[in-house]
Amino acid sequence: MSTDKDKEQEDNWYVFYVTAKHERKAEKLLIRDGYNCYLPIITVLKQWKQRKKHVEEPLFKSYIFVKVRKNEIYDVLQTPSVISYIRFAGEPAVISQQHIDLIQELIQNKTKFNISSERVKVGEQITLKSGPFEGEKGVVKEIRGTKKLLVVLNSIDFTLEIEL
């Protein structure tokens, strides 16, 4: 039987807010200090007037995931560029390893998806029965005439929008 004290001794993925456009700098500093962190990076096509270029950018702007014990959160906040930690229901937001793995798999498989901070309306909830995301739960919704699977990450108020 685990107690609250045991839970505080476990490493969990916490979400930290960093200075705008300092995600990579914060990641380097956190790694230098020995922290296990994850900064999801995607490649996007940018266009400037008549020039197009593929650039890498963070999937979640101004956010980074750090795997630490709850009592180490304030140590992470001492890192330059790290501003605060994200809270959900008054507690530090914890992201499950399953969600971290899902994000990594989406990026690795180059699955098309969008991030939305829009709250998802209650809809039909499904569990995928096949494919690379077998067992994942999500909400199916029609957006702009195409079918999308929305995987809600409640703890940080983001939704993964996956094209079906």
11/87 same-domain check:
yes
Kindly state whether residues 43 and 66 are assigned to the same domain. yes
- Whole-model pTM: value is 0.71
Cβ(57)–Cβ(44) under 8 Å?
yes
Which tens digits make up the pLDDT trace of 90-123? Answer: 899 999 898 899 889 888 887 776 665 655 344 6
| 64 and 10 in a common domain | yes
Name the domain boundary from 95, 119, 143.
Answer: 95
Q: Tell me: the pLDDT tens digits for 136-159?
A: 666 655 544 344 556 665 445 566
Clarify whether residues 62 and 133 are in a common domain.
no
Average pLDDT of span 58-71 = 95
Write out the residue range of the structural domain in which residue 77 sits. 1-95
Among 95, 122, 143, identify where a domain stops.
Answer: 95
In a domain? residue 104: no
Instruction: Decide: residue 138, CB within 10 A, 0-12 exposed, 13-18 middle, 19+ buried.
Output: buried
Top pLDDT among 129 and 60 is at 60
- List Cβ<8 Å contacts ≥24 apart for 24-27: 24/58, 25/80, 25/81, 26/64, 26/79, 26/80, 26/81, 26/82, 27/64
> What is the tally of structural domains in the chain?
2
Asked if 123 and 85 sit in the same domain, the reply is no
Residue 100 falls inside a structural domain: no
Spatial neighbors of 69 by CB under 8 A, at least 6 apart, are 8, 9, 10, 11, 12
Q: Is residue 21 a part of any domain in this protein?
A: yes
Q: Six-digit token pair at 129?
A: 């029965």
